[in-house]
Chains A and B, each alone.
Chain A
Amino acid sequence: MSLVTEFSATPLPPRENRLLAALPLVVILAVAYLAVPLLANEYLIEAILLPFLALSLAGLGLNLLTGYAGQVSLGSAAFMAVGAFAAFNFDLRLGLPLPASMLLAAVAAAAIGLVFGLPSLRLRGFYLAVSTLAAQFFVQWALNKFGWFSNGSASGIIAAPAIGIAGLPLSGPVGRYLFALVTVTAITFLLHRIVNGPQGVNLIAVRDNETAARVIGVPVLRTKLFAFALSSAIIGIAGVIWAFAYLRTVEPAGFNLDRSFQILFIVIIGGLATIRGAFLGAGLIVVFPLVLSRLTGLFFDGVADPGTIELLERIALGTVIILFLIAEPSGLSAILSRLKRRLAAPRAG
């Protein structure tokens, strides 16, 4: 049943000079922290970078659960919703500063993730995958039904407050971008440490061979629940960024099953059990519809209405998923590794 064993055939990187290996990361961070705030226009930030950051983070969270721990979840969007609505309420009712409400929102998402992770202790494979849908439908229902969550607004719509940290207003596009960027960078760093540390061994052991893991004394149940809780917390924070930095007005219906699948697709396209896969996948998922609508605009010369474009997008997305599963099950991450090796090869002689 393991989805990942057949996906993770990525060969080991050669143990090169560490500084040289870190170079691309340094460049990326420099561009993200310096070039973008100085040079990027509003469209790039609002329409591409903010959803990209939020979805990358959600992808990271799901990748921890599905890629590393091997537990397929079809209800990720529910935890984004929990994060968004929890932060909204912590802000509204307790008047906490943004980082505090965000942290508490993560805790709330983790707690609910823990509850919906309990079936994983007993169920496996498709039985578990289907049961994760319960989170999706229950959370969406609860947020719609109980007006308290949205402070009584119609159809559960909430408008996020203008954000700021320690008196510093961050409500402009660049401010919100930097807020999202710092959050995503910090969590990525933490997650990287976790999956490459001792806990990473537990996660992958449980995924690769649960029975063997159990008899050699890996705490299987604890590891699974840890994965559910941490994954939900990260996805919850992604929800906070989605609601507070990107859209600023959200409703429960925005965190529907399609959103959950979108996150799952990000992970598959990007590459399971890799950190950068979440970013690559999110990049493709965000840019893909924009490119597609430009292209259809070109080909059909304005004949195609938005509805048709949406359908075409659906078809194309489905096709891309199947193509990746067939041709590159290790995702964009593996393609990138291959490219890097090809580029490095001539230099190595």
Chain B
Amino acid sequence: MTSALLRAHPAAHPVRDRTEAQALPKGETRAATGAVLALEAVSLGFGGIKALTAVSLDVKAGEIRAVIGPNGAGKSSLINVISGLYQADAGEIRFGAQRFRAVPPQRLAVLGVARTFQNLALFPALTVAENILSGLVFQRRSGVLGHLLSLPAARREQARQNGQVRKVAERLHLTAALDRKVGTLPYGLQKRVELARALVAEPRLLLLDEPMAGMTATEKAEMAGFVRQARDASGLSVILIEHDIGVVMGLSDHIAVLDHGVKIADGTPDQVRRDPEVIRAYLGAEAA
């Protein structure tokens, strides 16, 4: 395998063992071993606003973990803390054995973590292929000179990375659009390109901030299929923020619920569906 990041958790059988998760009392954190990501009592504030209050969370290999909650609950903040764009005021973030107070965002890719953004964060002037390729830049060994002189190593690397781009584009049905400028694509396709860019380096952990927002039902189903397929293929773990409860219930192994920055529930879809506090906080807010 080309990616050095795949070493960690070659889970041939994605974790489906719900009984184990059920056995855990709600909110308890597990030992770092076995967890791809573990948050330990992470808090984050903006001026007076508490965006996150002592949130603990761990994500096992091969798990799709949804994070839901009403608008402003702190879901995006959670992902931003994990990816180092925001720095937690307190708490700890662990990727496997590496622990951070503040994750260095420029090392995220090397740590095997990839993400998408709630509001598209593509490079509009680049083509779809180049956008996807940008997700492989951190693995590049050859420099400008190598490229200018067309050194064999540089050429091989370029060919290999282009191959990776084509492969992921094929999986996400983007082949036909590879040479188009991303800025000219419809919104739904752009969201898909962003997913492709996140997947191309075969990360261990994928953070998706509302990847299906603003999509039609068909597009959503398609997108959900891509996410599941990626997980099944490589055993990566996913944190998925999504407002569409139907999608969430169908796709995730576990669901964490945030409300006003506090994690009020964490469990299987069935558990969460029945949790009275979730019904009050989440559905109450939704109904209001």
Contact = CB atoms under 8 A, between A and B. Distances in A.
Asked if A and B form a direct contact in the complex, defined as CB atoms under 8 angstroms apart, the reply is yes
A11 interface: yes
Interface stretch (B65-73, B140-148, B222-230): B140-148
Interface stretch (B106-114, B247-255, B263-271): B106-114
A79 B115 CA distance: 40
A263 B115 CA distance: 39
Interface in A205-245: 205, 207-209, 211-220, 226
Interface stretch (A160-168, A193-201, A290-298): A193-201
A197 B147 contact: yes
A202 B137 contact: yes
A262 B114 CA distance: 43
B85 A226 contact: no
Nearest to B106: A214
B69 to A, nearest CB: 23
B197 A208 contact: no
Nearest to A221: B106
B9 interface: no
Contact of A199 (B121, B126, B147): B147
B134 interface: yes
Contacts of A9: 183
Interface string B102-145: 00011111100011010001111110001001110111100010
A88 B184 CA distance: 49
A72 interface: no
B123 A205 contact: yes
A215 B115 contact: yes
A139 interface: no
Interface in A246-270: none
A5 B124 contact: yes
A332 to B, nearest CB: 18
A327 interface: no
B137 to A, nearest CB: 5
Contacts of A107: none
B94 interface: no
A5 B125 CA distance: 7
B134 A201 contact: yes
A5 B122 CA distance: 11
B161 to A, nearest CB: 8
A86 B158 CA distance: 37
A131 interface: no
Nearest to B84: A215
Contacts of B83: 215
- Size category of the A interface is 20 to 34
A171 interface: no
Given A197-B147, A226-B144, A208 B106 contact: no
B183 A194 contact: no
A215 B115 CA distance: 8
B180 A193 contact: no
B153 to A, nearest CB: 13
Contacts of A15: 179
Given A204-B126, A209-B123, A211-B85, A216 B138 contact: yes
B123 A208 contact: yes
Interface string B173-205: 000000111011000000000000110010000
A1 interface: no
A219 B106 contact: yes
A273 B121 contact: no
A190 interface: yes
A211 B59 CA distance: 25
A11 B123 contact: no
A8 B126 CA distance: 10
Contacts of B179: 12, 15
B148 A194 contact: yes
A69 interface: no
Given A216-B109, A216-B135, A204 B125 contact: yes
Given A212-B117, A216-B138, A205 B106 contact: no
B89 to A, nearest CB: 21
A12 B110 contact: no
Contact of A201 (B85, B109, B130, B184): B130
A204 B179 CA distance: 16
Contacts of B106: 214-215, 217, 219-220
B3 to A, nearest CB: 12
A263 to B, nearest CB: 22
B125 A217 contact: no
Contacts of A11: 181, 184
A201 B137 contact: yes
B213 to A, nearest CB: 17
B138 A217 contact: yes
A190 B148 contact: yes
Nearest to B161: A198
Nearest to B103: A215
A335 to B, nearest CB: 19
B134 A218 contact: yes
A229 B183 CA distance: 29
B133 A201 contact: yes
Contacts of A211: 85, 105, 121
Contacts of B181: 11-12
B85 A204 contact: no
Given A198-B147, A215-B105, A226-B144, A208 B125 contact: yes
Nearest to A216: B135
Contacts of A194: 144, 147-148
Given A12-B180, A205-B126, A217 B109 contact: yes
A4 interface: yes
A26 to B, nearest CB: 22
Name the 4 nearest CB pairs between A and B, nearest first.
A217-B138, A217-B109, A212-B121, A208-B123
Interface of A: 4-5, 8-9, 11-12, 15, 190, 193-194, 197-199, 201-202, 204-205, 207-209, 211-220, 226, 273
